Each structure stands twice: as C-alpha cells, then as structure tokens.
Amino acid sequence: MTIAAGIVQRNKFISPGDKRYKAAINYLDKDKSKRINNMDKYFAFENEIPTNEAIRMTALFDGRQDALDQTRKKELKELFKVAQAKESPMWQTVYSFDNEYLKELGLYRKGEHHFIDEDALKEATRCAMNKMIIDMGLDQSAEWAGAIHYDTDNIHVHVMMVTTEPEATLKKMTYKEKEVYRAKIPPATQRAMKSKFGNQIANRDPTLSRISFLLRQQLVKNSLDQGYSKNLQVMRGMSQLLNTLPKDRRLWKYGNQAMINFRPLLDSLSQQIMVMNNPDSLKELDELLTDQSDFFLKAYGQEAIQSNGGKTYKDNQYETLFKNMGNALLKEMSSMVAREEWKVKNQYTPEDIQRYVEKLRAPAVTKKTLNRVSQLLEETKQDYLNQLSYRREEFRKEQQRKRDLEQNSGRSY
C-alpha cells in the first residue's frame, strides 16, 4: 500500500532574465491583497496557483522577523535587485501539507475555533532554509522571505531566496550558448531540507539527539571500552580477520573497496560485541529507529523511500552504526599489529645478548692504550729530569759567581 506524504516539498528556480523575477521583487513590499491577486506574475509553480477567492496569506517573514516591517521589506527589495543585477537565480520552495497530518501534530484545527500554529510552520521553514544555505555555501550572502498561504482545503508555505554574491558561491555552466550560474539544488540538500522541516515541525529533536548519542557514544565507544577478550568466538573472528586482511594497513577502512569481502565478518563481530556489552542500548536504538522511520514514512510518504534506493531511515542508521563500529575494530587491530611489529623489530636474539655480554667483559683500557699512556708518562718524566738538571746547573753557576765576587772584594783591602 502506498502511503501519502504528510509534507511535500517542491523546489524550482527562476533565472534573472525571467519576467517573474522582477515581478517577485516588485511585490515584496506590497500588501497581502496585492500579493495574493498577482501570484501568477511571480510564482514559479504555475499549475499550483490557487483560484479559491477565500485564500489567505500571512505577512512576509524571514530568518529574523515573524512579520517583516516596512523598513525590512524595502531593504529586502533592494537586496533582491542587487542579486538580479549580479545574475543570481531566484530559488522558490513550497512546503505543502496534508491537513490531517497537521491535525495529528496538533498544529491545525478547523471549524468554529479555527486554529493553525503559524509559529511552528515559520520555525520549521527557518530550519530548512538554514540547512539549504549552509549546504550550498551561501551563509554570508543569502536573502529570503516567505509567507504562509492557507484556506480550509490546503495549506502551503512559499519561500523565495537569492544570493547577493553569486560569483563567490555558485559555479557557472553553459546553457543555450550562454554562461549562467548553476542553480539546481543538490538532491542530498533537498532531502536534508525536507528532513529538517519535518523534524522541527514534529519536535523530533530529542529523539534524534538520543539516537545520535547511542550511535556514536554508547554503542561504539562504550562497547569497545568494556572489552571482548573473554569472548572466545569474537577472538577467533578477530584472529581470522588479522590473518586475511591486506598487508597494507592503510586500506583498513570500512568504506574502502578493499574491505568489501571483510564487511560481513566485521558486522558479525560488531553485533556480537554490542549484544554482549550493551544489549539494552541496542534494543533502545532499534525501537527509536523504528519509531523515527515510521514518522518519516508518514511525513514524506513511500516516495521518499523509493527515491532513497528503497532504504528506510532505520536502514541508513544501521549502516552508519556498523561502519563506525567496523572502523573502530579495524583501528584496534591495526594498533595490535603495530605493537607486535615493534616487538619483533626491537627484540634481542641470543647472538645479540652474547655480543652485549662480551662487550661488557672487554677491558675498559686496551693494551695499545696502556702502551701509549706509558710512553707519554716516560716522555713527561724525562722532560722533568732535564728541567731539574738545568735548574741545578743554573743554581751552581749563580753560587760560584757570588763566591768570586766576595774574593775579589777581600783583595781590595
């Protein structure tokens, strides 16, 4: 059974030369009635322009204001003009809803006490647009405005956005022999925008935060920190992997093509370790992923799963879990091999030990050195004796000279 989407996102863009671009700028600072009555002049989704005269539209809002004042409208109008002059495309995004889905979320009620939570829709729009802006690298130059259109049959959020610095953020392409800025929003970004919108509008952030913690901290790091050396089956599997993995440890990454044949065993080891060390967390994660997958199915319909290769949110998250766990195991095994290689490289053989002992037993001073020292001592001794003989001779001569002088003095009387 095909399940209809509770939220539908559509994206289009208008080139700067399109007359609807200028019309959209002109109606930025107009009142609501004029914008409603002239939607056909600036709205990119021609087939979805409402004809119901009872349609209503909120005031324009953006990333900062819930209802743009006249000053902000004029500022925005000038910035849109700058963007058009620089040939920026204008992106238009529409979020439309199954009203019954909004009722389930408590955001919409019709009848005598008609109610719609405009603040929730605006905040979800901001989250989605911020995701688009960040993913496309438009952080410093994006300008956008949106409005909620609703009547008793259908509710939409319309958004239009430009960049005032397309030359710094967008790549160029050739279209009809003319260079233009590439305006297509990448599919991954479109999916991320829709996910942000849906999670925000349904207040799924606490669930997503818990899933993230279980995936990255509890089930990977904590499971490995508790160890697995006492599990004989796990150790046998580790030994089998170590004996068959490529010798080049640079290839030991779960996502590497060289690991394809080893992934089933890695996944099996990961499963055994998590079940052994964190069974409660694994069970909690499975329940949360099931709940989140059901939410996405209800919010975005069967088509979202088909466009994702038939994989659910739960499938994707389990792939992430086993990839993270596999990489952590490969890193541990790589460290083990590196330590063993170091031991082999640095261990002493019996021959090394014998040579070391002989070196210790060898005399500190060799015979040749002793002979040289003896020779130096002999030379030093002879020099000393020669000096001593010379001084004695000099002393004798000096004494003789004094005696001769005394004798000569006595004769003078």
pTM score, whole prediction = 0.61
Identify the residue with better confidence: 128 or 199.
128
Which residues are CB-neighbours of 81 under 8 A, at least 6 positions away?
25
pLDDT in the model for residue 328:
93
Which residues are CB-neighbours of 105 under 8 A, at least 6 positions away?
201, 202
DSSP at 221 = I
pLDDT in the model for residue 364:
62
pLDDT confidence bin for 95, thresholds 50/70/90? very high
Q: What is the mean pLDDT of residues 248-269?
A: 95
Residue 1 confidence (pLDDT) above 50: no
For the purposes of burial, counting CB atoms within 10 Å of the CB of 23, is it exposed (0-12), middle (13-18) or buried (19 or more)?
A: middle
Q: What is the mean pLDDT of residues 248-273?
A: 95
pLDDT tens, residue by residue, 343-390: 777 776 777 777 777 776 666 666 777 677 677 777 777 777 788 888
**Does residue 101 contact residue 295 with C-beta atoms inside 8 Å?**
no
pLDDT averaged over every residue in the chain:
84
pLDDT confidence bin for 54, thresholds 50/70/90? very low
Q: What is the mean pLDDT of residues 129-138?
A: 95
**Does residue 11 contact residue 185 with C-beta atoms inside 8 Å?**
yes
**Does residue 145 contact residue 68 with C-beta atoms inside 8 Å?**
yes
Q: What is the mean pLDDT of residues 283-294?
A: 93
Question: Residue 11 and residue 4: Cα distance in Å, rounded?
Answer: 19
Among the listed residues 116, 123, 29, the one whose alpha carbon sits nearest the alpha carbon of residue 75: 29
Q: Where are the domains of the chain?
A: 7-202, 207-350
20: left (phi over 0), alpha (psi -120 to 50) or beta: alpha
pLDDT confidence bin for 62, thresholds 50/70/90? very high
Residue 2 confidence (pLDDT) above 70: no
- The stretches of 146-260 forming alpha helices (DSSP H) are 166-169, 187-201, 205-213, 223-225, 232-244
Residue 162 confidence (pLDDT) above 80: yes
Buried b (16+ CB within 10 A) or exposed e, 121-131: bbbbbbbbbbb
Q: What is the mean pLDDT of residues 180-195?
A: 92
Q: What is the mean pLDDT of residues 72-93?
A: 94
Task: Show the tokens assigned to 103.
Answer: 């009722």
- Of 36-45, 156-165, 377-386, the poorest mean pLDDT is in 36-45
CATH architecture of the domain covering 7-202: 2-Layer Sandwich (3.30)
pLDDT in the model for residue 177:
85
Q: What is the mean pLDDT of residues 247-274?
A: 94
Task: Show the tokens assigned to 218.
Answer: 């509890």
Question: Residue 276 and residue 227: Cα distance in Å, rounded?
Answer: 10
pLDDT in the model for residue 239:
92
Most confident of 28-42, 47-61, 187-201: 187-201
pLDDT in the model for residue 146:
92
Identify the residue with better confidence: 168 or 307.
168
Q: What is the mean pLDDT of residues 226-231?
A: 91
